[in-house]
A and B are shown apart, each in its own frame.
Chain A
Amino acid sequence: MLAAIQKWFRNSQKTETPLAVTEDRPAEPLARVDTIDLHLRPDDPFLSYLLSANGVVEIDRLKLVSPALSELKAAGVKISVPLVSQGELIGLLNLGPRRSEQDYSADDRRLLATLATQAAPALRVAQLAQLQQIEARQRERIDQELRVARVIQQTLLPKEVPTLPGWQIAPFWQPARAVSGDFYDFIPYPDGRLALVIADVTDKGVPAALLMATTRSIIRSTAERVKSPGEVLALVNDLLCPDIPPKMFVTCLYAVLDPATGLLRFANAGQDLPYLRTAAGLVELFARGMPLGLMPGMEYEEKEVVFAPGDLLLLSSDGLAEAHNAQREMFGFPRIKALMAGAGQGETLVERLMQDLDSFTGPGYEQEDDITLLVVEREAGPGGAAVNEPLQTVAMFDLPSQPGNERQAAEQVIETLAGDGLSPTRRQRLETAVAEAVMNAMEHGNHYQAELPVHIQVLRSPEHLVVRIIDHGSEAQTNQTAETPDLDAKLAGLQSPRGWGLFLIQNMVDEMNISGDSEHHMIELVLNTKEG
């Protein structure tokens, strides 16, 4: 125990320099005040003696084995008065010998005892005030550091929202405290695609923010090496695992958007499911995966979805759905879904979500967790597709690249068109075209690797029916042509008897468009429905 001990001396200490003595005014001061830093250990018997003492303690006559007592004696203290407040020794009033060199009288002692009774609470108040000042200074310093930390953290977020023609992207980031464990990121790929990242570190505040900065760097550097969302998450997980503090982990959704085709490929490490609002309704985009940093060697399922013009995607951290009001009710997913269904465009959705959260939580709400939102919208105007008119999604599905699945694909497409007035002849032509296009995708694009799916999307406008078949081939495939095969040459054995696929497709539909990028290849089939 370290106590600040005041020692009031009458001017008798030869070794000490008296206070307020000058050569011009050699008059003796009345007294001198020194401070002794007395080290009083909790097990020092002198401490219990002081606590139980009633009034003045005669130091020079006290016999105890105590380093503190020896210290006082060495300093020339004759008597001490313990200053005790609420059972705690907060100071010691020490006096040297009287100037008259006589003993302290009974009156002196009474006076000192009274003084101590009054001084103790006053000293206590002074000590507390000093403590508060120190704490206030510390708090101010921490606040200042947090303000700087917040500024630094904001520099780790994208400074600009990417501009993609035909697309709207609206991010929103609101920490619960000065700094956040949430973050979002945009990583442009050289081929024109864009990675969208949203992540949430367990807990919030400074520990989460530190891990957020690390995770962001790891994701960024990993994205330079690998491009597929599942591989990125698997690598980031392996890199995070050895160094992540116990009981902490990161949920993260990594999606790669191809603005040209509208294809979004994504993997999810435990982040809330993204919602895609299509003309056919709200779709939950599920992909299996453990949060990052829990266990090395994890695999992350990859899924694909195609944005039709007008489709709207919402990525969010759990801070929104899990916000509570004063009645401890949760904001919840159904509310988010309802708002999404009714919202206009992307910017409006962010505003609507936050306004609704405000009115749900009510005044005086203290945000419980960080909230991050990322809204991506494909404009309902002309986009990357060849059919430049607003299209509604009728259906979309994936099929593994296995021989025979082309017929299932064709049947599924036809099923989605039941009751739409397409004549049996045109329906059969479309069935053949879809089957051929899917076979082409499985064979030339995916090389019959079952784990590579063919993605099929059925879209409709008032005048057109559009079926898109997307595989994992590349632009090179777009060189395929639908030239009329030379049957005479084939019959004469001068050409392979094969090579009918694209020719058949082209003859079965009103329009066939082929497009692609470095990782995907798409055949778009168009039927003019107004012609019956």
Chain B
Amino acid sequence: MVQPFESSVRLENDTAVVDLHGEINAAAETALNAAYSTAEQGNPAAILLNFQDVNYINSTGIALIVGLLAQARKAHRRLVVCGLSEHYQEIFRITRLSDFMQMYADEHSALSG
């Protein structure tokens, strides 16, 4: 079933954690970019995208993530991801996003890594 995209941002030490929920597709664009801007506000050393509660990412969603990654690289900020299912880890590898974003199994390993 369709789950509208929602997100929230929290700070864990010097890492801003963006918790993503629902589907990452064209409809998520505004909310995702807003969440990323919020995460940047405290000028954290790293931003962690938490995909634990994301059930669907389509090609438009990939493009949105590419956009965030481009912003992070421009600001020389570390962008990492966690909680991706095996299927989406495969997609991150195929698209080479994983070359630029470290993938962690979960939030704990991401924050301690």
Point out the residues of chain B lying under 8 angstroms from A436, CB to CB.
58-59
Query: Of B60, B90, B99, which is within 8 A of A498 by CB?
Result: B60
Contact among B2, B59, B90 for A407, CB-based, below 8 A: B2
Q: Which of B6-14, B37-45, B67-75 makes up part of the contact surface?
A: B67-75
Most buried by A among B56, B58, B73, B99: B58
Check if B97 sits within 8 Å of A487, measured CB to CB.
Answer: yes
Q: Is the interface of B mostly helix, strand, loop or mixed?
A: helix
Which partner residue on chain A sits nearest B96 by CB separation?
A487
Name A473-522 residues within 8 Å CB distance of B: 485, 487, 490-493, 496-501, 503-504, 507
Query: 1/0 contact trace for A419-459 toward B, CB 8 Å?
Result: 00000010011001001100100000000000000000000
Chain B, residue nearest A500 (CB): B59
Q: Which residues of B contact A439 (CB under 8 A)?
A: 58-60
A404 to B94, CA, bound (A): 24
Does A403 touch B at the CB level, under 8 Å? yes
Task: List B51-65 residues whose CB lies under 8 Å from chain A.
Answer: 56, 58-60, 62-64
**Contact digits for A388-416, partner B, Cβ 8 Å, 1 yes 0 no:** 00000000000000011011000000000
Give Cα A439 to B57, complex, Å: 13
- A501–B62 Cα gap in the complex (Å)? 9
Residues of A within 8 A of B26 (CB): 403
Are A500 and B56 in contact (CB-based, < 8 A)? no
Enumerate B3-51 residues with CB–CB distance to A below 8 Å.
23, 26-27
Expressed in whole angstroms, the Cα–Cα distance for A504 and B87 within the complex equals 12
Whether B94 pairs with A507 at a CB distance below 8 angstroms is: yes
> Is A504 within 8 A of B94, CB to CB?
yes
Contact B70 A429 (CB under 8 A): no
Docked CA distance A407–B67 (Å):
23
Query: Quick one: given A491-B73, A504-B91, are A406 and B58 in contact (CB under 8 Å)?
Result: yes
Query: Among A487, A497, A501, which residue has its beta carbon within 8 angstroms of that of B67?
Result: A497
Docked CA distance A524–B6 (Å): 34
Distance from B111 Cβ to chain A, minimum over Cβ atoms (Å):
25
Closest beta carbon of chain A to B67's beta carbon, Å? 5
Identity of the chain B residue whose Cβ is nearest the Cβ of A487 in the assembled complex: B96
CB distance from A508 to the nearest CB of B (A): 8
Question: A503 — which chain B residues lie within 8 A by C-beta?
Answer: 94-95
How many residues does chain B have at the interface if contact means C-beta atoms less than 8 Å apart?
26
Q: Tell me the bound Cα distance from A496 to B64 in angstroms.
A: 10
Take A487-B96, A491-B100 as given contacts and tell me if A497 and B58 are in contact as well, using a CB distance cutoff of 8 Å: no
A72, B99: Cα distance in complex, Å: 125
Question: Are A491 and B59 in contact, with the CB atoms below 8 A?
Answer: no
> For B66, B69, B91, which residue has the most chain A Cβ atoms within 10 angstroms?
B66
Report A305-344 residues with CB < 8 Å from chain B CB: none
- The answer to whether B63 and A498 have CB atoms under 8 Å apart is yes
* Complex interface residues of chain A between 240 and 278 (CB less than 8 A to chain B): none
B87 and A428 within 8 A (CB): yes
Question: Which listed residue, B64, B70, B99, touches A493 by the CB 8 Å rule?
Answer: B70
- B67 to chain A: which residues have CB within 8 Å? 497
A497 to B63, CA, bound (A): 5
Q: How far is the CA of A487 from the CA of B58 in the complex (A)?
A: 16
User: Which of A86-125 touch B at CB < 8 Å?
Assistant: none
B94 touches A490 (CB 8 A): no
CB pair B100 A504 closer than 8 Å: no
Complex: chain A residue closest to B65, CB-CB: A497
Query: How far in angstroms is the closest Cβ of chain A from B97?
Result: 7
Q: Name A498's closest neighbour in chain B (CB-CB).
A: B63
Which has the most chain B C-beta neighbours within 10 Å: A428, A493, A500, A504? A500
Interface flags, B71-113, vs A, CB<8A=1, else 0: 0010000000000001100110011110110000000000000
Q: Do A501 and B59 touch across chains, with their CB atoms under 8 A apart? A: yes
Query: Looking at A403, A485, A491, which has the most chain B CB atoms within 10 Å of its CB?
Result: A491
In angstroms, how far is the closest chain A Cβ from the Cβ of B94? 5
Q: Name 7 extra pairs, CB < 8 A, besides A492-B70, A497-B64.
A: A403-B27, A407-B23, A429-B90, A432-B91, A493-B70, A497-B63, A500-B63
Pairs A–B under 8 Å by Cβ, sample size 10: A404-B2, A429-B90, A436-B58, A439-B60, A487-B96, A490-B70, A491-B66, A497-B63, A498-B63, A501-B59
Q: Which 4 residue pairs spanning A and B have beta carbons closest together?
A: A500-B59, A497-B66, A498-B63, A501-B59
